[in-house]
Amino acid sequence: MLKKISIDELKPGMFVHKILEQKGSLAVKNQGKVTSQDVVKLLKKQGVRILAIDTDKAFTPVPEKGEHESSSVAPHLAEKSAAKKSNVSLESELTRAEKLHTQGKAIQQLLLNNVKKETPFDASIPKAFSNKLVESVDRNPDALLCLTKIREKDDYLLEHSLNVAILLANFATFMGMSEEEVQDLSYAGFLHDLGKINIPDEILHKPGRLTDAEMDVMKSHVNHGVDYLQNTDVAKPLIQAISEHHERLDGLGYPAGKKGDEISTAGRMLAIADMYDALTADRVYKSGMSSQKAFSILMNDAPTRLDVALVQQFIKCLGVYPVGSLVLLSNDRLAMVLKQNDSPLSPIVKVFYSVKSSHYLTPKDIDLSSDNSLKIQKAVIASDYKIDVNSFFERSVSIG
């Protein structure tokens, strides 16, 4: 006899006949015995919500031994999950990541157009895209992080939200959040600045300090975006996080002047990622600052404005020298950081430019943790040396 139950009702000794409702990108379709509480936890983690069990196939589970190797449901899930989480090479993932990055800018443009025209959009499209970002981060977190450093100055509005989504996917994964929480945070990052399309360009792209009146107009972008999203299928907790990305712990943020515990964890994390990407972004009127300088500003804003514990975790997540950032080596050569090492000051880098001779070099990978003759002198930005990293990107990050 088949019986429909919720995941909270599932217990060891039951036989799963079919998954009826599941949230997330990993489809679970097979039948099997629930041999332990670990199986229940695993199904919950995979987003299973409603199941059909076969009461005629109920059984007495063997006492747990710390391993759940006897279930026909759990190993199937574990195998698919392991495949999803397995790290592929940067070179392999970068090809997919570049396509995702291009697709993300196109979707962001469509969303902005809809907001501008006040027409609804199909929320399943940006949601599915955000899930793909998370899947890429699961396969290799460095590929998309590299792409956050490759910017077009005229595309800031498109790239900023995409980059924040990527940063949050990495940040939430690093924090050990559930797959659903990681996907939701990335999705919130992708949508968080839609309201800026209603801000006049002369204010949005003004190179100098905004007047008080102009700042009031700029601040209105949060409410523009939230008001629009209220009429979509976007979940309320995500809209709340988006509404909080300019709130500050001391109550001096906007639009609601929330403070302390009034601001959700998701809102706090979004505020950090948003601020970091804004500080490091190249704009038409200025070059972005180095990651190290941005980290310093984030820490100075904690704990009165930003959550100090989360800022510290964010910096730890990205590393002292974040993937995709440029560094000057002790032999006067520039390199791009490709991968973090156990030693935070000695990542794997791609050397590609001679400062002394002012010319590009044949790209070469160096693991600084195993080369005692080379050290990082400092973090730098491309404009310091008048080089165009974008045009050199494919050569400088492809492995081999």
Q: What pTM value is reported for the model?
A: 0.76
Tokens of 376: 């990082």
Residue 225 CA to residue 114 CA, distance in Å, equals 11
pLDDT at 108 over 50: yes
Residue 77: pLDDT band by 50, 70, 90 thresholds?
A: very low
Q: What pLDDT is stored for residue 183 in this prediction? A: 96
Reported as a single tens digit per residue, the pLDDT across 226-239 is 999 999 999 999 99
pLDDT at 7 over 60: yes
pLDDT at 104 over 60: yes
Q: What pLDDT is stored for residue 24 in this prediction? A: 53
Residue 85: pLDDT band by 50, 70, 90 thresholds?
A: very low
Reported as a single tens digit per residue, the pLDDT across 117-152 is 999 888 899 999 999 999 999 999 999 998 888 777
Q: What pLDDT is stored for residue 394 in this prediction? A: 52
Is CATH 3.40.1190.20 the right assignment for the domain spanning 90-318? no
pLDDT at 75 over 70: no
Reported as a single tens digit per residue, the pLDDT across 245-267 is 999 999 999 999 999 999 999 99
Q: What pLDDT is stored for residue 36 in this prediction? A: 78
pLDDT at 22 over 90: no
Residue 62: pLDDT band by 50, 70, 90 thresholds?
A: low
Percent of the chain with pLDDT over 70: 88
Closest residue by Cα to residue 260 from 246, 243, 242, 247: 247
Determine the average pLDDT of the residues in 171-197.
Answer: 95
pLDDT at 222 over 90: yes
Is the separation of the CB atoms in 157 and 112 below 8 Å?
A: yes
pLDDT at 366 over 50: yes
Q: What pLDDT is stored for residue 213 in this prediction? A: 97
Determine the average pLDDT of the residues in 288-302.
Answer: 94
Determine the average pLDDT of the residues in 274-297.
Answer: 90
Q: Which amino acid is at 146?
A: C
Residue 77 CA to residue 347 CA, distance in Å, equals 34
**Contacts (Cβ under 8 Å, ≥6 apart) of 78:** 42
Residue spans per domain, the chain: 2-85, 90-318, 326-397
Q: Diameter of the chain by CA atoms?
A: 78
Tokens of 273: 């990622």
Q: Which amino acid is at 155?
A: D
Give the least confident one: 15-29, 57-71, 177-191. Answer: 57-71
Reported as a single tens digit per residue, the pLDDT across 306-332 is 999 999 999 999 999 999 899 999 999
pLDDT at 79 over 60: no
Q: Do you find a cis peptide bond into 141, omega within 30 degrees of 0? A: no
- 199 vs 45, higher pLDDT: 199
Mean pLDDT of all residues belonging to the chain: 86
